[in-house]
Every structure is written in structure tokens, then in C-alpha cells.
Amino acid sequence: MRNILVSLFGCLLLLVGSCKKDNPSPPVPIPNASFYYTQIQIGSVKTFPYVNIPVHPTFKIKFSTAINRSSVAGQIRVWDPNFKELAYNITYEQGDSAVAILCTDPFAPFTKNFISISANLLSVQGEKIKQTVSLPFITELDTNNKFPIISDDALLDKVQAATLKYFWDFGHPNCGLARERNTSGDLVTIGGSGFGVMAIIAGADRGFISKTAAAERILTMSNFLYYKAQRFHGAFPHWMNGITGNVIPMSLKDNGADLVETSYMMQGLLCARQYFNGNNSTEDSLRATINKIWDEIEWTWFRKNNENVLYWHWSANYGWDMNMQIKGWNECLITYIMAASSRTFNIPKIVYTAGYTSNGGIKNNNTYYGYKLPLGWSMGGPLFFAHYTFLGVNPHSLTDDIANYWDQNVAHSKINYSYCVANPRNHFGYGPNCWGLTASDNDVNGYSAHEPNNDLGIISPTAALSSMPYTPTESMNALRFFYYKLGDKMFKQYGFVDAIHLSNLWFADSFLAIDQGPIMVMIENHRSGLLWNLFMSCPEVKTGMKSIGFQSPFLQ
């Protein structure tokens, strides 16, 4: 489960020689003081935070009274990121109550530098200044391309191939399942591995790996899941040990079944069953094992005493103590689709209607940035809502009695994009080429479900890139920007890093399975519809989705 952790963006106010974080505010008159600065302007920016500053800016500092020119040397300083003092030329304005400073040499692009005012700066009356400060400022991005220009198709290939490496080269060597993140050791994730199965299928279809090798890898994963992994009424935990198959608790009571993660895994495995249809021992065994896993998941058990709702967790030690009903609008529509599609433990429509939709209570129908949003949260929520279920479920022309799901996902994506372009919180870097808010790592509190109502200045590449089917132009523009303009800092061994915070010059060094997988899969769905076609070809999925009220030409 992705937890939404709200925190406030804090700015740095540094005393000379100090690195302490504080909350700066515009200079204001100090009681009983006659000499203080009233404004510091860097380039065209007049208030904190000072970001997107030209590499050759003019600094303008206004004071409450005229300054003593002879006291300026050593008291107004400009520093580079290594705290090397830079030479500058100074002119005096407004009867010496303002100064303009121009450094002799330009600053490096996209770096944090400082301007400081020290305590021994004097007014013409001989009074020392009452404010000492060292203000950071970030220079504008380097707009030079970091990699050679290639065609858009070649770029999509490159991104997909690199992202696949997370699941292929970095899959656990014993069981083949995906590690939760690139620092997880033996901890593997069920949901992320389901996304990884779909990524491997796409990689085989693109020729990045052979179909034979892909089938063998997914067979290894499936055999581990069926014969070794701990299951609870057929369902898997969120995390497990990639060697023993034993559950690794997410928390004290979350040490058993995770029905949502299980549904992500089965979404991927059913795609694999449909794709690997060859008449050979590997693919025969793979299909048989997937069917055994599928048929042993007791979806109806998770109604908890036959209630008309599904529950997320169950533990052999703590029973239903987690007590988390699965209700929308969120990333869990796929869970109800899988439960309705089960060949052995399927749920009736009332569970979906009364449970997930709250009898239509998930409707929104408000308009944001000119886009009417059929379902869910104000402003749409994090973008993974539009991704996880729809890695396999084709939203084109998909309707039920409460929504058109293509309209829902397009509106959600367009709202997220439009919010970033509008940038009401003035985060550095946000714009038409740098957008996308969803759950990811961050440098503020570690991890959060970023969205317009929880905007911490974090751009998550998976948000825009996984929205490629819904916003092809906007997503491709983001992809080009991430790759060409920020690629030396963003594009690494396993594709794009998990998140960036340009206001803090922060680039994650992490990769998460649950974020990398949707990039690979949704780009492929945009290009070929491969995973949509596979999942929607499952006979039981057609039957199950129709049974709970869905209509689509792909269900015929």
C-alpha cells in the first residue's frame, strides 16, 4: 500500500559558515533597528526561494539607509558550491542605500551558490547591520543535450530496454522475482514482480531478450510462487524472502495475505499464460503452474464473513486486525476484476458495487483545469491510480454504469499535467516538459504519494511516462526532457531514477519495481497494445468483467 505522507516544503536560511535548515521569509524591518536590508533580488527573483537564476545574474540589495562603502569589502560575499568566494564588481545606487553586484565570472548551471551579508557591514552612521544571512540560490538548468539525438522510436526502445534490465538483470538470482528496490537484497515484492512479468513479456516481444529465455525466467518465478512461497488462502504476502519464500512483514500485523499485491501478480501471470502458448515442455509447464496458482486463490475468503466488500489483508496470527476494506477510487479496481474473474472463487456483482464503488459513491464529476473527472479524489490523486489496473485492463471504450474509464484516465492525466504547468506552488522546474506527480521516493520524508493536494516539489518519471497512452504528446515531451536535458543525472543503469526534486538539486539513486514496471508496460501498450490484448483475451476475464457490469468491445 502506498502511504500518503503530507509534509511542508522547508527552505534554507543559512548563517555564514552554517548548514542549518530554517524557514526564511522576506526581509522585514527589525524593531528598534535603523540599519537592515529590505530586499535581496537575484536576477529577476525578489523573494525566497531563489531558483532558476541566470548564470550571470545581477544581485540587487536594498538597505534601510545608506551604507558605508569602505565597509563592504569582506562583508558582502558571493560563494560557489564549494564555498569559494567569487570576485565581483559593485555599483552604488539610490544614494548608497542600494547596491548592484555583478560577478566577474558566470556561475555553473544548475548549482547551489550563496550570497552572504556579514555582521560588520556598516551604515554611513557607523551602525552595524542587524541581519546576517547567507542565502542559497540555484542557477538555471543546463539546456545542452546530454545524449545524442535519436528518433523517438529509438528513444522509446532505449528506455524500455534499460527499464527491463531492472527485472531481467536485477531479478533475484534464486527465484527470478523482482526485488522491491535496488537496495533490497533478498527481499522480493509480489506486486512489483507481477509488473515485472509483464515487462519481461514486452521485452521478449521487442526482441530485447529471447522468448525462450523469457518463458524460462517466468517459469522459475511461477514454480517458486507455487511450490515454495508462503500463501494464505492462496494469496501472497506483499514481501517475501527470495530464497526461502517466507513472508517478510511490512508491519507487525501485515505478515500474511495482501490481496491487492496478489491481484497485480495474477494480472501479470495471466498475460504470461496467454503469451506463452507454444507446444513445448517449458511453456506447457508454465501455463499449468499459472493455472494452479490462479485457481487456488480464495478470493471469496477475503469478503470476511461474506460481507459485500473485499478486505486487503489477512494474517494467520492477527486475523482481520488490519481491517482495511478495499474501496475506490484508487489502484485496486484490478483486485475486484480478478476476484470476479476467478474460475473457482468468484465474487458476485454486489461485492463490487457495494464494496469498491460504494454504490456509486466514488463519483466525482467536478471539473479541474477544464477537464471533467468522472471518479475519485479532488484533482485526481496520484497518477498510479490510472496505471496499475490498466497495465492489463484496456480502458479504451470501457464503461460501466458509473464511468467511462478512458475518459477517467485521460482526464486524470491531463489534470496532473495541467497542475504542473500552472505550478501554483512555484516549484523549480515544473512545466510542460517536466511534470508528473505520483507515489515515489523523495528527499523530504523518504516516500510519499505525491499529487496536486500533496505536492512536495517531487517529479516522478513513472507518472508522466506511464501515462503515455493517455497523454502521448505531453508524455513524449517529458521523456525527451528527462533523457536529453537531465539524462546525465536521471538516466542510469535501470532506466530513469525514481524521482527528482529540482528545487533541492536532488536526484534519487533508487529504482523501485512498482515504478519501473509501469513505465515499460504502459509504453508498450501505447506502442502496440500488447499487454492489453493479452489480458483481455483471457476467457475468464471477459466473463468476470461482464458479470460485474463492464462493457467493452474487447470483452466480446
pLDDT in tens, 517-544: 999 999 999 999 999 999 999 999 999 9
Q: Which helix (H) or strand (E) holds 335?
A: helix 333-341
Three-class SS of residue 524? Answer: helix
Q: What is the pLDDT of residue 34?
A: 82
Residues 43 and 57: beta-carbon distance below 8 Å:
yes
Instruction: Report DSSP state, residue 162.
Output: H
Which residues does 6 contact at the CB level (< 8 Å), separation at least 6?
A: 448, 454
- pLDDT classification of 131: cutoffs 50, 70, 90: confident
- pLDDT classification of 26: cutoffs 50, 70, 90: very low
Q: What is the pLDDT of residue 355?
A: 98
First-last CA distance in the chain = 33
Residues 374 and 364: beta-carbon distance below 8 Å:
yes
- pLDDT classification of 36: cutoffs 50, 70, 90: very high
What is the average per-residue pLDDT within 17-43?
Answer: 62
pLDDT for 9 beyond 70: no
pLDDT for 27 beyond 70: no
- pLDDT classification of 33: cutoffs 50, 70, 90: low
Query: What is the per-residue burial (b if ≥16 Cβ within 10 Å, else e) of 16-54?
Result: eeeeeeeebeebeeeeeeebbbeebbbbebeebbbbbbe
CA distance 468 to 57: 38
| Domain at 152-555: CATH architecture | Alpha/alpha barrel (1.50)
**Residue 312 backbone phi and psi in degrees, to 5:** -70, -45
- φ/ψ region of 481 (left if φ > 0, alpha if ψ in -120 to 50, else beta) reads alpha
pLDDT for 41 beyond 60: yes
Residue carrying the nine cell digits 493517455: 470
Which residues does 353 contact at the CB level (< 8 Å), separation at least 6?
A: 359, 548, 549
Span 282-297, pLDDT tens digits: 999 999 999 999 999 9
What is the average per-residue pLDDT within 50-76?
Answer: 96
Residue carrying the nine cell digits 558571493: 78
CA distance 416 to 459: 11
Task: Evaluate the CA torsion angle 277, 283, 288, 289 in order and state its sign.
Answer: negative
Domains of the chain by residue range: 37-139, 152-555
pLDDT for 6 beyond 70: no
Which of these, 491, 492, 494, 493, lies nearest to 479 by C-alpha position? 491
- pLDDT classification of 32: cutoffs 50, 70, 90: low
Q: What is the pLDDT of residue 1?
A: 43
Q: What is the pLDDT of residue 29?
A: 46
Q: What is the pLDDT of residue 250?
A: 96
What is the average per-residue pLDDT within 429-440?
Answer: 98
Residues 524 and 371: beta-carbon distance below 8 Å:
no
Residues forming a β-bridge with 311: 325
Which of these, 428, 427, 404, 431, lies nearest to 417 by C-alpha position? 431
pLDDT for 300 beyond 70: yes
CATH topology for 37-139?
Immunoglobulin-like (2.60.40)
Span 486-515, pLDDT tens digits: 999 999 999 999 999 999 999 999 999 999
pLDDT for 31 beyond 80: no
- φ/ψ region of 500 (left if φ > 0, alpha if ψ in -120 to 50, else beta) reads beta
